[in-house]
């Protein structure tokens, strides 16, 4: 099973700042098979990025994804107040697994 480790565990930033979230895999992940989600309290996760770098429908262009192999990054270029939440990466190798999450706090 491929384990995903996200860092940092918590990131404290202010609106307008840039956020960089990391996701590292224990085995190489095909770039097509890495996704990022945002989850707010009491809500289901929402798809942000698929295929490592493709934005899902309706996702603002301040969200971008990059990376390949075992190292992937989600970048939020200029934080808006509504962006503060928990973010998860997810891969599909032999079966889907999720990272433990990064909490983005104001």
Partner 1 sequence: QVQLQESGPGLVKPSQTLSLTCTVSGASIRSGGYFWSWIRQHPVKGLEWIGYIHYSGSTYYNPSLKSLVTISVDTSENQFSLRLSSVTAADTAVYYCARMDWNYYFFDSWGQGTLVTVSS
96 in contact with partner 1 (CB under 8 A): yes
- Listed ranges 14-22, 60-68, 71-79, 88-96: which one lies at the site for partner 1 (CB under 8 A): 88-96
35, with CB counted inside 10 A (0-12, 13-18, 19+), is buried
21, 11 in Cβ contact below 8 A? yes
Q: Is 65 in the site for partner 1 (CB under 8 A)?
A: no
Q: Name the minimum Å distance from CB 96 to partner 1.
A: 4
Of 16-24, 46-54, 65-73, 74-82: span binding partner 1 (CB under 8 A): 46-54
The helix (run of H) or strand (run of E) holding residue 27 is strand 19-29
């Amino acid at each position: 099973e491929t384990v995903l480790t996200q860092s940092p565990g918590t990131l404290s930033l202010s609106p307008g700042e840039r956020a960089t979230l990391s996701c590292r895999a224990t085995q190489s992940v095909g770039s097509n098979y890495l996704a990022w989600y945002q989850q707010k309290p009491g809500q289901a996760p929402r798809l942000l990025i698929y295929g490592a770098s493709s934005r899902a429908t309706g996702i603002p262009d301040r969200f971008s994804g990059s990376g390949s192999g075992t190292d992937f990054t989600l970048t939020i270029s200029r934080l808006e107040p509504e962006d503060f939440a928990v973010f998860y990466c997810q891969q599909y190798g032999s079966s889907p697994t999720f990272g433990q999450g990064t909490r983005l706090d104001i």
